Amino acid sequence: QAAADPMSSSDAPEDGPRETSSVSQNISDADAFKILLEMKMKKRQKKPNLPSTVTELDTEDGSKVYVVGTAHFSDSSKKDVVKTIQEVQPDVVVVELCQYRVSMLKMDEKTLLKEAKEINLEKLQQAIKQNGVMSGLMQMLLLKVSAHITEQLGMAPGGEFREAFKEASKVPFCKFHLGDRPIPVTFKRAIAALSFWQKVKLAWGLCFLSDPISKDDVEKCKQKDLLEQMMAEMIGEFPDLHRTIVSERDIYLTYMLKQAAKQIELPRASETEPRKYTPAVVVGVVGMGHVPGIEKNWNSDLNIQEIMSVPPPSASSKIFKFVIKATIFGLMGYGCYRIGQRTVQFILAMPAAQSYLQKLTEIRSSH
C-alpha cells in the first residue's frame, strides 16, 4: 500500500528528512506493481498447509484449483476458507453464490439473522412477482428451511462466503467471482421436473419441518452440507428434483471454476508493457455436497446451455397455479365476508343503532 499510494510531501512532517518522501514519490507504477506482486508470491506457499476439507484440482495448462468444501452453518468452515486463501494467495476466488444472493456478502451477521427469521407475506409476494407463483413458493419454502436452521443455531448462513470476500480483498490482484447458477433458473427447472402431487408432497414436507438441530450435527455434516443433506432426505424419492438442485449445479460450478482457472494476464503498469500470462491459482468455496460432483465432472467437456434453459410450464404446473390462486382469492373473499359480517353485527349491537331500529319498528307499527 505504501508503494501504491506514496505519501505526498504535504503529509510529511516539516522537520523530518526530505529524502524519504522524495524516494517514495519516485516509485513508478511499474515498481509498485512489481513490489505488490513479489509480496504476493512470497506469501504463496509452494507446499501450502491446507485443511482436510480442501480438494486440489489441476488444469491442462498448469493452473491449480483448491476447492474448499464447507458446511454453510459452520465456524470451522469459515476458518478453513481463511486459512486456504492465506496459504495459496489466489488470483481468483469463486463462491457458490449467484447475483440474486450476493446481498449476503454485504450484510452483517445481525441483519442476516433478522432477515432469515422474518419470512412474511410481503416477502412471499416479492418472490412470486420476481420468479412466478411456483418458483416463488419454492424459494420461500427453502428459505423457511434455512430460517429453521438459523433459528436453531443462532447463526446466519453464508458466513464462509463473507469470509472469502473479506480475505480475497486482502490479496493483491485477486478477483472475486460468483460461481452458482441463477436461483430463478434452478427453481423453475426444479418445479418443471415435478408432477402435481410431488409438488404438493414436497411443499407439505417443507412446511412442517421442525426437527431440532445442534452445532454438533453441523460439524458431523462436514462431509455433506447440512442444508443439502436435509433437502436430499426430503427429495430422495424425487430423483429429477435432486438432479436439478444438486447435479446440474455441480456441472455449473465445475464450469465456472474451470473458466476462472484459465491462464491469467499478469498486471501491467502501462499499455506499452508486453503482455505476460501465467497459470492461475483459484480457490473455490462450495458446499461439501458439491465436491464429489465437481471432481466427477472436472475432466469432462461441459456445455451449460442445456441446464440454463427453462422449460415451458407443464399442465400440472398450470393446474397447481390455478389451485393456489383460487385458494388465495377464496381465503381473501371469505375473510372479507367474515369481517363484513362481524362489522354489521358490531354496528347493530351499538345502543344508538338499537334505538334507531326501535324507532323504525314503531313507525312501521303506527302505519
Does residue 345 share a domain with residue 216? no
**Which ranges constitute the DSSP H helices of the chain?**
18-25, 29-43, 75-88, 109-117, 121-131, 133-153, 159-168, 183-192, 196-207, 215-220, 226-234, 239-242, 248-260, 291-297, 305-308, 315-349, 351-366
Q: Hunting for cell 516539516 — which residue is that?
A: 14
pLDDT for 207 equals 61
pLDDT for 23 equals 46
Q: How far apart are CA 169 and CA 166, in angstroms?
A: 5
Does residue 150 share a domain with residue 129? yes
The set of residues, in sequence order, having a beta carbon less than 8 Å from that of 151 and lying 6+ positions away, is: 116, 117
pLDDT for 314 equals 57
Please give the residue range of the domain that contains residue 334.
319-361
Which of 11-49 are b and which e, b meaning 16 or more Cβ less than 10 Å from the residue's Cβ?
ebeeeeeeeebeebeeeeeeebbeebeeebeeebeeebe
Does residue 263 share a domain with residue 204? yes
- Residues 241/270, Cβ–Cβ less than 8 Å: no
pLDDT for 188 equals 82
Does residue 221 share a domain with residue 172? yes
Q: Is residue 18 a part of any domain in this protein? A: no
Domain count, the chain: 2
Residues pairing with 283 in the sheet: 66, 93
Does residue 147 share a domain with residue 71? yes
Q: Is residue 276 a part of any domain in this protein? A: yes
What cell was used for 344? Answer: 354489521
- 10-residue block means of pLDDT along the chain (367 residues)? 36 43 60 81 84 96 96 87 96 94 77 64 65 63 65 74 95 94 86 77 63 61 52 63 87 97 82 87 94 96 91 61 64 63 62 66 67
What cell was used for 194? Answer: 415435478
Does residue 272 share a domain with residue 197? yes
Phi/psi of residue 300, each to 5°?
-100, 155
The two beta strands, 264-265 and 175-178, are unpaired
Does residue 162 share a domain with residue 67? yes
pLDDT for 316 equals 56
Q: Given 275, 290, 312, which residue is the final one in a domain?
A: 312
- Residues 280/173, Cβ–Cβ less than 8 Å: no
Does residue 346 share a domain with residue 221? no
pLDDT for 186 equals 86
Q: Is residue 31 a part of any domain in this protein? A: no
Q: Is residue 30 a part of any domain in this protein? A: no
Does residue 176 share a domain with residue 148? yes
pLDDT for 68 equals 97
Q: Is residue 354 a part of any domain in this protein? A: yes
Q: Is residue 136 a part of any domain in this protein? A: yes
pLDDT for 279 equals 93
Residues pairing with 337 in the sheet: none
Does residue 349 share a domain with residue 226? no
Does residue 307 share a domain with residue 331? no
**Beta strand ranges found along 110-235 (DSSP E):** 175-178
Q: Is residue 1 a part of any domain in this protein? A: no
Q: Is residue 15 a part of any domain in this protein? A: no
Does residue 193 share a domain with residue 293? yes
